[in-house]
Amino acid sequence: MRIAYVYDAVYPWIKGGAERRVYELSQRLALRGHEVHCYGARWWEGDKHIKLGDVWHHGVCPPHPLYTKNKRSVKQAILFSLGLLRNLEGGYDVIDCQEFPYLSCFSARARSGGASFFITWHEIWGEYWIDYLGRSGYLGMAVERAAAMLTSNNIAVSEMTGRELMRLGAESIVVPNGIDFKHIQSIRPADSEHDIVFAGRLISHKNLHMLLEAIALLDSDVKLLIIGEGPEAPRLHALARSLGLDERVSFSGFLRYEDAISLIKSSRAFVLPSTREGFGMAALEAMACGVPVVTVRHRMNAACDLLTPETGVIAEPSPGSLADAIRAALDLSKAAGARCREIARRYDWDVICGEIESVYAERA
């Protein structure tokens, strides 16, 4: 098959979940004998057409900051969608467009010709648009719904996103995100040990303030490591001090992926108190480390769908409930390792590549 992926952010220049999915699948599909092209902004130096591994990359517009004041840039979305109209070639069997930043879905659809047109959905915002943009969020909701109606070939990366697409009246098939299971297994646990670890961006919807308040309710010998950086860092440092947690909570800042995995492997539980996860990659990576996961129940938290009673605990979004769930996970820690790894292995990128290849072949 001749396959095109469409997304403005491109890995490894931009390192987010959606661009990592495109990278992992495109490289594996190319190794399986397919001709694969990726259309994005030109984040690299030199010619606008380059080959990365076995995949051609096409820069359809100059790079522009993806975020303005911590919100996705409308200017970037417009530049990219216009660049697609000018530069997306024909002759593909499959075009797979990542849903964000929406406008590109309409451009890619207009240029799809006879290709089977797919949109991969990493999350549905729905009414969250109002929290994000105020009254202007109603426009965001309308555009999101219109994008979901562009094709019957919608791919959801989680069961939660599939349910949300159904709420919009759109059909979908679930092909989840993946992990490099073999690479995670090759990483040695760190010498330093922590009871609980969090890894991710320090942003408001991760609810780390709730995690710190939960730690204050636990026995004084329970220690937490927070890996990551972000705009909430000063507030969280101040809250930890005010709660008297200076000796129990450590902030590592940003770490290399391998170093973060090493520290997760040496912990007893991983806590993801987020109320908005389109998939829950960090939770799955913790499971691949053999570590049980605690997360919180919320309609927009897809990490809940990854857990079973043998591999983690789902708390209500409150410090007291989260503290109880952490206690339960710490008790579960020794028994959970094998089952956690067994489930995580099913999400290895090679397995996911086989799933997406079958979907494309059935509908191309």
pLDDT in tens, 193-240: 899 999 999 999 999 999 999 999 999 999 999 999 999 999 999 999
Residue 340: its H or E element: helix 319-345
pLDDT given at position 208: 98
Residues linked to residue 240 through DSSP beta bridges, in sequence order: none
Pick the CATH number of 2-178+348-363 from 3.40.50.2000, 3.30.70.2190, 1.10.3720.10, 3.40.190.10: 3.40.50.2000
Rounded to the nearest 10 degrees, the angle between the axes of helix 233-242 and helix 208-215 is 20
Amino acid at 20: R
Q: What angle do CA 241, 244, 246 make, to 5 degrees?
A: 60
Per-residue pLDDT of the chain (364 residues; tens, 9 = 90+): 999 999 999 999 998 889 999 999 999 999 999 999 999 999 999 999 999 999 999 999 999 888 877 778 889 999 999 999 999 999 999 999 999 999 999 999 999 999 999 999 999 998 888 988 888 889 999 999 999 999 999 999 999 999 999 999 999 999 999 999 999 999 999 998 899 999 999 999 999 999 999 999 999 999 999 999 999 999 999 999 999 999 999 999 999 999 999 999 999 999 999 999 999 999 999 999 999 999 999 989 999 999 999 999 999 999 999 999 999 999 998 889 999 999 999 999 999 999 999 999 999 8
Asked if 23 and 31 touch (Cβ cutoff 8 Å), the reply is no
Asked whether the beta carbons of 116 and 94 are under 8 A apart, the reply is yes
- What residues does 40 pair with on adjacent strands? 59
Domains of the chain, by residue range, sit at 2-178+348-363, 181-345
pTM listed for this prediction: 0.90
Task: Kindly give, in sequence order, each residue whose CB lies less than 8 Å from that of residue 34, ignoring residues fewer than 6 positions away.
Answer: 1, 2, 3, 357
For residue 38, the SS3 value is strand
Reported residue count of the chain is 364
- C-alpha span between 65 and 72 (Å, rounded): 9
CATH superfamily, region 181-345: Glycogen Phosphorylase B; (3.40.50.2000)
How many whole angstroms separate alpha carbon 311 and alpha carbon 73?
38
Distance CA 196, CA 200 (A): 14
| Separation in Å, CA 102 to CA 19, 115, 267, 335 | 15, 19, 39, 44
